[in-house]
Structure formats: structure tokens, C-alpha cells
Amino acid sequence: MNELQKPVVGFSCGDLNGIGLELIVKSLADHRILEICVPVIFASNKSINFYRKSLPDINFSYNSTKDLSKLSHKQVNVYNCWEEEVQITPGILNETGGKYALISLQHAVDALKQGAVDALVTAPIHKKNIQSPGFNFSGHTPYLKAVFAASDVVMLMIAENMRVGLVTEHVPLAEVGKYITKENIIQKLQIINQSLQKDFGIDKPRIAVLGLNPHAGDEGLVGNEEQTIIKPAIKEAKQNILVFGPYSSDAFFARGQHEKFDAVLALYHDQGLIPFKSLAIGEGVNYTAGLDVVRTSPDHGTAFDIAGKGKADATSFLAAIFEAIDIVRRRKGYAEVRQNRLKKMSAKLLANAVDEKVEESEN
């Protein structure tokens, strides 16, 4: 691939005491990754060296920089977000891990805003110890929604054989019901539909919607949300989207129906993520649909229990990298196709206008 065509992919380091930096080092140690992207890790040389030393069998080198306009296209780049000595204690939940996770994320997001990186892969954070005046969110997804001023986003879990989006994400189960509204369901469906077209190259996506209650309410016997909210939302969305349901979630996944659709909209976290993590072929990826920028992450957390022990499996993290690169390319192709289509339409309109002028002069 031409050096100038390779997307620049940024990496936030996640919790310093989790498995994030270990996964980044393991994933980027294979130099074949440099053939398809330009990696930029937002951390510090010292933090990278700490984890590099804990992985003696891995040959990992990098280019250190403080200037995103001077990246090496032939090496992994480390953008130094801090210079001070930081005590790293793998597996320990403390304020330091959260503080520097946020510093890394803020620098990476700034680079994404400025167009210095084309995509962002976020390593896992601990949602509690990152809380601060600069991060009052339940996770990456609502944070990115706020930072990029998106009207709405969808947490979309993707794997080789399924895609699952959520109406609600990190919401207590007792509060889920108040977010299940006709408007919310339609908005999530619109975001997923557009993302499937623009980010995944699917012209006419088919989307399934799950019911909220057991057996999708059994015609109102065990809950009426399906009758009063979900079915009306699906009916209205059908005007522009190929959407079907609501389906009883247990039977839906047990019968393999998820593989007949391009995406499934689940109504709450565990309804979507338990079957996803159980049935997804290969490792899953978390993608934030609805943003103007591209952000992916692995489908797991900080794994403090194995942090610093060299045991972390980088499969899902690698999948997140590859998916980010693919989405950047698909978006570019989608934009080019639409641009060419608009050019053809403009040419046709111009030709028609000329023909009309000629007819007028002849008459």
C-alpha cells in the first residue's frame, strides 16, 4: 500500500494498571501491521518501556515524538502525553491508573478532532476510577458522544457472524424501561441503518428488533411495551428501513436467527451482550456508530487479575485495529461513490437544461 494511503490509527492506553498497554505492545509488535496503517500510541516512553520489559519474547521498537506532523510511517509512534515518572502497579485499582487513562484519551481524542489520526482504538478503562471533573460518564461511548456533539450514538458490537446494537448501555436494569420509547428505538434504528450502509458497505440492511419482555410480551400477557411502544416504532421505521420484529430474544438467538440479519437491536445491555459474547465467531469489537469519526475497542475490560503477567490475549484488540482500518476505507469508498453519483446527477441536470434551451430556440 502507498505510504500516503495508509490510515493513521491512534491508540489510547486505557488504565495504566490494566492490560491495555500490554495488548497494544503485543498487537503492534508484528511489523506487518505497519503495512496497513501508521500506529500512534498516546502514552509515554516510560510506560511503554515498563510493559515492553515485561514481555521479553517480543521485539518491539518505536519512534518517540511530540509532534503529530512528524510521524514515522515505518515505525510505531509513541506520542508523549506526559513526561513525569509514574508508578505503574499492574492489577491494582488506584487513582493513578484512571488519571493517566484520561490524559491519554483526551490527547487521542484531540488528535482525532484535528484530523491528525484517522481512527481511534481505545484500550479498556475502569469506569469508576476514571471518574473526575473531566470524565463524568459511564464509559467511552457517552463520553465520545458528548465530545463530538453527536445527537445520538449506538454501541454496536460486531463480529464475523453478527452485529448487535443497544438502545440502552450502562443503565441499571430497574431504569431501563424509561428509556424504551418509540422515539429512542427509531433513532437507534436510523443510526444503525446508516452505519451499515456507510461503514459496512451494505446497500439494503436488514435489522431485527428484540422484545423487552419474555416471549416478546406474549401479546400483552407478560408486558405491553411490545404492543404500545416497540411495534409502533417498527411500523414507523419501516417507511425507510428494512426492520423486523419484535422477536423473543431467547428463541431468536437459540434458533440462529441473528445470522439472517445484518444487525440486531437489543433493548438493554445484557440482552444483547450475553448472546453476543457467547455466539460471536472470533473475537468481538465494540464500535461507536453515529459519530463522524471512527472509534473501535476490544469487547473486554481491564482484566486486572492478569495484568502485568503476559497472559492477555490480543485477539480482540487486533480485531478492533483491523475493523477500524476497514471502516476508514469503506467510508472513503462510500463518500467517493456518492460524490461520483452527484457529479453524474449534476451532469444529467446540466444536459437536460441545455436540451430545454435548444428546444426553446428551435421553437
Architecture of domain 1-150+291-363: 3-Layer(aba) Sandwich (3.40)
Other CB atoms within 10 Å distance of the CB of residue 220: 12
Position 105: which residue type?
L
**pLDDT tens per residue, the chain (363 residues)?**
455 589 999 999 999 999 999 999 999 999 899 999 999 999 999 999 999 998 988 989 999 999 999 999 999 999 999 999 999 999 999 999 999 999 999 999 999 999 999 999 999 999 999 999 999 999 999 999 999 999 999 999 999 999 999 999 999 999 999 999 999 999 999 999 999 999 999 999 999 999 998 888 677 777 889 999 999 999 999 999 999 999 999 999 999 999 999 999 999 999 999 999 999 876 899 999 999 999 999 999 999 999 999 999 999 999 999 999 999 999 999 888 877 655 555 555 655 655 665 555 555
CA angle at residue 112 from 108 to 113, to 5 degrees?
Answer: 115
Contact 101, 12 (CB under 8 A): yes
pLDDT at position 224: 87
pLDDT in tens, 251-304: 999 999 999 999 999 999 999 999 999 998 768 999 999 999 999 999 999 999
Residue 5: predicted pLDDT = 82
Cell of 247: 422477536
Tell me the C-alpha to C-alpha distance, in Å, between residue 269 and each of 156, 272, 293.
11, 6, 23
In contact, 104 and 140? CB cutoff 8 Å: no
pLDDT of the residue at 355: 61
- What pTM does this model have? 0.89
- Quickly tell me which residue has 483526551 as its cell: 106
pLDDT at residue 220, as a whole number: 76
Identity (one letter) of the amino acid at 9?
A: V
Distance CA 85, CA 340 (A): 52
d(CA 329, CA 137): 30
d(CA 101, CA 105) in angstroms, rounded, equals 6
Nearest Cα neighbor of 39 from 28, 29, 50 is: 28
Contact call for residues 37 and 72 (beta carbons, < 8 A): no
126 backbone φψ class: left, alpha, beta (φ>0; ψ -120 to 50): beta
Return the CATH number of the domain spanning residue range 151-287.
Answer: 3.40.718.10
pLDDT for 57: 86
The pLDDT, as a whole number, for residue 341 is 56
Nearest to 159 by CA among 317, 319, 17: 319
> How far apart, in whole angstroms, are the C-alpha atoms of residue 292 and residue 201?
16
In the block, residue with C-alpha cell 471512527: 294
- Give the three-class secondary structure for 285: strand
C-alpha 185: how far from its chain's center?
19
Cell of 55: 514481555
* Domains 1-150+291-363 and 151-287 agree in fold: yes
> Which sequence spans correspond to the domains of the chain?
1-150+291-363, 151-287
Q: Which residues of 23-44 are buried (b: 16+ CB within 10 A; e: fewer)?
A: bbbbbbbeeebbebbbbbbbbb
